[in-house]
């Protein structure tokens, strides 16, 4: 299984204005354990977001302060 975004593809990321607009399956730019990733939102629990990749790996839970933006375009 390959990623939704392949290495080298140009991505446009927009700041999140309203966190209630985020949904499971959205791709976000986030910081997890000191590293920045474009990852999927796998689950939402109040103001926490479970972040993982397209291959089934879960990185963990992050708060709104760790989400920098939402991927809105991939070229």
Which pLDDT score, from 0 to 100, does residue 3 have? 61
pLDDT digits (tens, 9 = 90+) for 26-37: 999 999 888 888
Mean pLDDT in consecutive groups of 10 residues from the start of the chain, 75 residues: 73 94 96 88 95 88 96 93
**How are beta strands 11-14 and 67-74 bridged, if at all?**
antiparallel
| Terminal Cα-to-Cα distance of the chain (whole angstroms) | 20
Domains of the chain as residue ranges with CATH: 11-74 (2.30.30)
Distances in whole angstroms, Cα of residue 17 to Cα of each of 1, 26, 46: 32, 14, 17
């Amino acid at each position: 299984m390959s990623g939704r975004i392949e290495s080298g593809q140009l991505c446009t990321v927009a700041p999140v204005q309203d966190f209630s607009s985020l949904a499971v399956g959205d791709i976000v730019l986030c910081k997890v354990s000191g590293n920045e990733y474009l990852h999927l939102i796998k689950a939402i629990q109040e103001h926490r977001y479970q972040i993982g990749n397209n291959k089934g790996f879960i990185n963990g839970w992050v708060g709104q302060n760790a989400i920098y933006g939402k991927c809105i375009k991939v070229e």
